[in-house]
Amino acid sequence: MENQTKIAVVTGGSRGLGKDMAINIAKKGIDVILTYNNNKEEAQKVVKQIEEIGQKAVALQLNVAEIKSFDSFTENVKTALKNHFNSSKIDFLINNAGIGIHTAFTQTTEEQFDILSTIHLKGVVFLTQKMLLIMNDGGGVVNISSGLTRIALAGYSIYATMKGAIETLTKYQAKELGERKIRVNVVAPGAIETDFGNGTVRDNADVNAFIAANTALGRVGLPDDIGSVVAFLCTQDAKWVNAQRIEVSGGQMI
Ligand code: NDP
């Protein structure tokens, strides 16, 4: 008999927003498979935090820029499902892993373009394809975009373009996956204090003050402003929320 507890895969769950998403999803009574790229130790700490909440968790290595590794990652997920969760299927996928590169449009190199597009678009497309093969009908996908698709801040043209693509992809995925009762939404965080983009929003006082002054609620975002919204989308309370872009920015630059 299969475990009835729902299971979410959160990419980039070792730090920042993904860590907060993983913890908040666990608080909803959902088990978590979180991924890390380099920071195994940090990921293991998140696993421990989730276990203290009372849910099961496993951390697996995944580089979302290595599309060819997705088959073996899927096998690792299947093994983890069997060994740790007494299950063969996941219920939710949170496409969160990402990087920031700040560069003027005219200075952007092909290499920068390729890494941004591979991580934020190609990786999301093909990882989602794989995860859908082992996702229960009635589950959900949450893609993570950015407030920068609505707000144009110099230096983020390619990053924001990839995030814009994810927002369009979300609608099409929702359209095609509706027949499996899989909901697909996209969460667009405003500027948040994490390691992202060398921790600029957190560590650069001028940037921090600029964003706070241009946000209706008067401050920069924190990871725990975002995780709870993603967790909500993984609950029955969000059962009729589908194909939506939900910006979570405190009213940044409105
Ligand atoms: P952090 O830099 O704090 O964390 C990044 C996470 O992604 C880590 O878990 C990291 O793993 C993982 N990661 C990075 N590169 C890869 C890769 N190639 N393959 C797999 N995993 C990878 O970033 P945030 O938490 O701030 O960002 C998370 C998401 O939120 C991103 O998609 C970002 O674009 C988006 N976002 C962030 C905003 C912000 O202001 N912070 C605003 C809007 C959107 P490891 O620890 O192992 O390196």
Q: Does residue 2 lie within any of the structural domains? A: no
Q: Which residues pair with 32 in a beta bridge?
A: 8, 57
Ligand 1 neighbour 85 (Cβ under 6 A):
no
Verify whether residue 159 is a known catalytic residue.
yes
Is 115 among the domain residues? yes
Residue at 159 is within a domain: yes
DSSP state of 91: E
CATH of the domain at 93: 3.40.50.720
CA of 98 to the centre of ligand 1 (A): 4
Residues near 162 by beta carbon (within 8 Å), at least 6 away in sequence: 116, 117, 120, 121
Say if ligand 1 is within 6 A of residue 159 CB: no
Three-class DSSP category at 123: helix
Instruction: List per-residue pLDDT tens for the chain, 254 residues long.
Output: 455 899 999 999 999 999 999 999 999 999 999 999 999 999 999 999 999 999 999 999 999 999 999 999 999 999 999 999 999 999 999 999 999 999 999 999 999 999 999 999 999 999 999 999 999 999 999 999 999 999 999 999 999 999 999 999 999 999 999 999 999 999 999 999 999 999 999 999 999 999 999 999 999 999 999 999 999 999 999 999 999 999 999 999 99
What range does the domain containing 185 cover?
7-248
Distances in Å between the alpha carbon of 191 and those of 61, 90, 117, 143?
27, 30, 20, 17
In a domain, 254, yes or no: no
pTM over 0.95: yes
Residues belonging to the chain: 254
Evaluate whether residue 18 is within a structural domain. yes
Structural domains counted in the chain: 1
